[in-house]
Amino acid sequence: MTHEATMSATDFMMPTYRPWPVQFVSGHGSTLVADDGSDYLDLVAGIAVASVGHAHPDVAEAVAKQAHELMHTSNLYRTHPAAALAERLSALTGGKLAFFCNSGAEAIECALKLSRKWGRGRRGATTIVATHNGFHGRTFGALAATGQPAKQAPFEPLPGGFTHVPFGDAHALEAILGEETCALVIEPIQGEAGVVVPREGYLARARELCTERDVLLVLDEIQTGLGRTGAWFAAEHEGVDPDVVCVGKALASGLPMAACLARPNIAQSFQPGDHATTFGGGPVQSAAALATLDVIDREELVARAATAGATLARGLRRIAGAEMEVRGRGLMIGIDLGAPRARAVAEAAFARRVLVNDATPSVVRLVPPFVITDDEIARAVEVLGEVLVAGESS
């Protein structure tokens, strides 16, 4: 056996991931196909990315067509796909203006810088309030906003000017939002913390407080947005319109694409040179995003996320043990196992060719494509039922 044959691709990568022992070569709908021909039911969707399913033909065609025409110009020049996408997202968000970038963390960085500049010009306010257990990314600014000390500690000192309060606690917001606060940054549902849903009325109260105290409400909808919870944006369930919203993940069906969207009067705090990106809003990514939004509209996938999510959650609650909690909204579901065995559950499901994500030691997260079929939901519930029962008896 040659040296090359004994090496794997991960031998040449930094050890920042713990990949599963499989290599995928293709996908369609809610299915991923491994290099040995095995099919896997994908309830992870690239971590809430493949909302319209893997390799949707309309998205693939849009990418190929645009790649043959124009792949890159930088933001020194305008392109039609980026302009059309900005207009489309503005219509979805009540007239907000877009800054395109490559990842959710970059969208958050844009929001943080915009909030600081807006607040400094307003009254010299620079403090940003975020929540315990929130997750906003791994760049330095986004990590400072992230309320998870274990992720922060290895990289301290982090940028200052951030304060954290308990998630879902409106009284804590009332106590902390003051003259020095420029923005409140929150997830409508905390994803990486284990699909934590705040009590009803929390987002609405946050909106009221931010309006009363002249503080920007910045919503991180990178995981919850673009239909995942059964509405275009999770904040819509409470009728909340943020000042700034960040989207990513599902925006371009897997191409690196995200956006920070802000009300025009806030966006105008930026001037040329304040913020930039080389690749953000590139023609190919923008074409993919436009095609993705077209598919979501035409196939009525926002409504499908709501109905499929309700069916999946109902099935999971039927099989869950007494100590377990099934929570979430739409096709963003967490199974709180009540014990630190999420990895074991994920491994047992993987052995049965069903992919789930151990978001925390005790929570399994399911964020499948919106196109998941009723038969696939039934299979998911059957397999997870077997796995959960086996886990209880071991």
Known catalytic residues are 135, 220, 249
Contact 26, 50 (CB under 8 A): no
Q: Which of 60, 208, 188, 80 is nearest to 134 (CA)?
A: 188
SS3 42: strand
Q: Please, where are the H alpha helices in the chain?
A: 3-6, 45-48, 57-69, 80-92, 104-123, 140-145, 149-152, 170-176, 202-212, 264-267, 283-298, 301-319, 342-351, 374-393
Q: Is 254 exposed, middle or buried (0-12, 13-18, 19+ CB in 10 A)?
A: buried
Burial letters 5-41, b for 16+ CB under 10 A, else e: eeeeeeeeeeeeeeeeeeeeeebebbbbeeeeeeebb
Whole-number Cα distances in Å, 35 to 7, 44, 114, 128, 256: 17, 19, 45, 46, 24
